[in-house]
Structure 1
């Protein structure tokens, strides 16, 4: 049941009660459950579901003559988990350390959140980072809500080009100043302490979940050079670390912009990679004019309108079966010999083939 149900509610409740009883402390339920990964399977006779799709269990009893789901799971967990903790004190100690760490982080966050929300509220009245649009994804009845897009750019020149060429009805622009912080291994406290992250969170309206997300498409729009790729990685890390559901639900994209413009007096072709450029050169013949765009700021607003309009190319950021923690540790953690070897094995040098048409 993808949406849980009475068995999951009973499991969550029994887990908290058993942990509190074992340690003799009234720890906060959220601190106990933080980072817990568990699976529960129960055999209910004549199960009742809350919808035809059977995604949420609604049964209150294990069967016609059986105990309630809540009692059955509560008694089982209280006995088995309590026995396990007594037999494995080192595991119990690790759980308690995790709970205390979560409690400490939550208390630290509470003070920071209040200040950050006040700061974001003031900034939203005139947020110099955000050039907003008129329609938003959480305008449930608006016919264009699915078109709503937030472009996250770096630098004034790039944001200027997109701002000048965007559709003000459905396209917004959030401009970063320089490279964002590498969030790997940091707690969510950094989202409130870092002004840009706090304003980005406020612009997206995702502090408490995705229910009121303001843009259907969150698009990272950076230069196609090494610095631009680094900024992409840092932003993807930010979303994976603190808002993984935004990625899982298919809202995060990379904007593909042309690397080359190939033209003659009669036709202009925009090319997104070396092979497209070679094809364009062959099509136009007779030494066409070739321009390589080194950054988004070099593309005029008139041209940029073509790349964020109906023919926009978006590359979705998708999560496979990999664990997020392992993925971030490998690519964004310490520079290990394994990662160095991976870079060496996959390093490619792209030569400019303009002179070899």
Structure 2
């Protein structure tokens, strides 16, 4: 023990001002209350809907705008884009100008045991928030699997030639109906708005080239059929018109000949009635008319046939000069007595 060295005094902890601990506790409580109270307000965007859960149980929905709820953990809000129409790609993924194929989704077997690649786009939206949140765990995965299953089911019952040519529209319609039916059956809360195939084609290489040639030949066949039908539709009306014209012309000739025959009969009957009255005169007239037709340039003389001197009457000369003779009598008749 050293003498003369003062013994150090024991250190004392700093003393807090009276009431500081209480103030700190009050401040912490205020901050906690404010933070807890801030969870009582929430905002829902225009394209969203909010599901309200009370002690983890679905109790209601909220539309766009500012909402109020009991603080967590009494109530909580889950927001979903219920008013937004979304699209999902089957068989490929496209981000900007980059496109990646997913053969596990697009490759499938047709009904005639050929391989075909089918890419599609499914347009969908949320129709029931409760079913969407509680009936399916992963909505996007379920939608992909269900769409792929529907496509495989329909194409698996179709032949490759039909699937890549004329049957694409019908197959698309059947896939859409099957996909809608599937989501209604499992009550997923998803509404299928539309389904469109991007491509239905055989895999690349020689198979694709062969089917492309088949498709081109089919299109050429359809083109020729359409041209033939066009020619048929053009020629048949014309032929019918020509046939109708011939029929009408024949009918007109028929009626004309009937009328001419009826006129000849009437003429014959008229002559015959006159012939019965005076056969000699009628016979002479018919002979003269026949002679005029046979010998149109012959001169006709009429005589009585009695006596040694033939007396005749020059009718032709008299008819040609009748007008001049009446105006100017000849000189030999000037002194004749009446």
TM-score in terms of structure 1 length: 0.21
Q: Judging by fraction of residues, say which structure has more strand.
A: 2
The structure with the larger Rg is 2
TM-score in terms of structure 2 length: 0.22
Per chain length, whose mean CA-contact separation is higher, i.e. which structure has more relative contact order (CA < 8 Å, sep 6+)? Answer: 1
